[in-house]
Structure 1
Amino acid sequence: MQHEKVIKNSVYLKDSLSISIRTYFSIQHIQSAALFARHTYDVEKNYDGIFSEKLFSQHSAYVTAAILSSVFFLEATINELFADTVDTNHGMVDKLTPLTKNLMAQMWKLEVPRTASFNILQKYQIALTLAQKPLFDSGTQPYQDVHLLIKLRNDLTHYEPEWVKSPAGDDFCPDDIHKYEKMLKGKFSPNQLTGEGNPFYPHKCLGHGCAEWSVNTSLKFADDFFSRMGLIPPYNHVRAKLDTK
């Protein structure tokens, strides 16, 4: 963008104005996750018991999107924090000690934990390590639920079909219980569009209960992380908009 200044109607001085925009997509991801959870809730709440392929398709899209967006939020959040230590001198990174900020910036420049070689949970643990803050205990909450959430996201992303026995069958036995039923049953209410004959995974699992759990799980983990780091969560200003019903 060019601006010209006129001096005594004869001398022209030209200066250039550079405008740069920095977008933090983590906030969009968590807002999207909450929105999809609300849509899932509306479908289940208004379901009249009459099968509709269009309705079921929309419901499946909403709950899957809520799960994916919740995990997108987690990864974008930690990536944004690391990236800010490199080329941003305001906002959250101002609250970091100079040593922590420098360590995080230097490691990020070395692609640690920037590349796909590091999973999401490792990225958070590395940040805590560099800041000399207490690490998450992998055997307790909220780490365990986030681990399950990420695993579910990965299995949906890299989906492979499998035979799952219906509990309505005469030959159904405890050994036939799906791994996700063992890991997730009881953590949230089942999909209200399903019946007794539907297996837990994926049918009963993928409903509003799971969508809501995904949003809440990701937020609890992120909240815990920023508390350990001594930072105010960057999404605090949209928290009131993250209803799941």
Structure 2
Amino acid sequence: MAAIGISGGLIGHVRKIYIMALEYISQGHGVRHGINGYTDYAPPAYIISTAALEAFVNEVFISDWVRVTMRDSPMWNIPRDTLYRMELSLKLVIIPELLFQNSFSKGSPPYQDMTLLIRIRNEFVHYKMKMDPPKYLQTLDQRGISLSSPTVGEGDYPWPAKLSSSEGIRWAHNTVCSVVHELVRFESIYKSRNKSKDKKITMAKDLATNFLQIPDSFAIDWLTKKGVDPNSTYP
């Protein structure tokens, strides 16, 4: 039975979810602060975005093809099942280091954002009905990713609602896309260093064409076409 990749389809679903969220907020459902509005489409988008990246990593870097093209890599000293079962945040550090002698800076984007996205994914997959909001929400509020109540003195939204935002969907999508293209860059540097620019050693560059950023202008144009001022708030 032939194997097929699913990462492109998964990240494509996140884009569709984002469009559904924009349609939802353009119709006046829930609160909206500029281009960022409440949508209960966000939690599944966090989950699917993370799944798309893990699928990409597994398809591209742990495949039979790479075992042939990079058969001397020390990565193959690790059993394949162990590689598959690794936490995604650990895979992102170990796999490019072993394959390309390069890796992410843990304290900088996109890795820093990706580890945060994984935490958010886990908050929803392993949901606990906690009163206290996660500490990272302050950072997301400052960046305009989560929702904050503009009404001083009446308290903020519950933390799951704060994360249920259209900009949260776009951020999750774009974070995954940034990680994918950084992995492609690691491979390109490795090939240049080893004088093998024309040699295809993985499918990373091909599959990365599915992972294109969504600019904020997309939301601005969408809302404007729907007759909604993207600088306004609702209600």
Q: Is TM (by shorter chain) over 0.5?
A: yes
Post-superposition shift, 1:241?
9.7
Does 2:191 correspond to 1:223? no
C-alpha deviation, 1:178, in angstroms: 4.9
Q: CA deviation at 1:185?
A: 1.5
Contact 2:14 2:48 in 1 (8 A): yes
1:120 alignment partner, one of 88, 107, 119: 88
For the 8 Å contact 1:67–1:149, the answer to whether it is kept is: yes
Answer whether contact 1:70 1:218 (CA < 8 A) is retained. Answer: yes
Return the match for 1:107 from 78, 81, 95: 78
Q: Which runs of 5+ in 2 are unaligned?
A: 32-36, 189-201, 220-235
Structure 2 counterpart of 1:201: 159
Query: In the aligned structure 1, how far is the partner of 2:137 from the partner of 2:172?
Result: 16
Counterparts in 2 of 1:199 and 1:126: CA distance versus 1, 3 Å:
same
Q: 2:47 — aligned with what?
A: 68
Structure number with higher relative contact order (C-alpha < 8 Å, ≥ 6 residues apart): 2
Percent identity, please. 19
The aligned amino acid for 2:205 is P
Query: CA 1:137/1:239 → structure 2, altered by over 3 Å: closer, same or farther?
Result: closer
- Counterpart amino acid of 1:71? T
Number of the residue aligned with 2:6? 25
Which residue in 1 is equivalent to 2:207?
A: 235
Quote the offset at 1:237 in angstroms.
Answer: 3.9
Give 5+ residue unaligned stretches, structure 1: 1-19, 51-55, 165-176
Structure 1 residues 1-245: aligned runs within 5 Å: 20-47=1-28, 59-60=39-40, 62-84=41-63, 86=64, 88=65, 93=66, 96-100=69-73, 103-109=74-80, 111-115=81-85, 118-164=86-132, 178-191=134-147, 196=151, 197=154, 198-199=156-157, 201-230=159-188, 232-239=204-211, 245=219
Alignment partners' CA distance in 2, 1:129 and 1:49: 45
Cα distance in structure 1, aligned partners of 2:139 and 2:29: 30
8 Å CA contact 1:191, 1:208 repeated in 2: no
Count matched residues.
195
> Cα distance, 1:187 vs. partner?
2.6
| Change in 2 beyond 3 A, CA 1:223/1:95 | farther
State the Cα distance separating 1:29 from its structure 2 match: 1.2
Question: Normalised by the size of structure 2, how large is the TM-score?
Answer: 0.70
Alpha carbons 2:180, 2:208 under 8 Å: kept: no
Measured after TM superposition, the shift of residue 190 of structure 1 is 4.3
Name the SS for the 1:139 alignment partner. Answer: coil
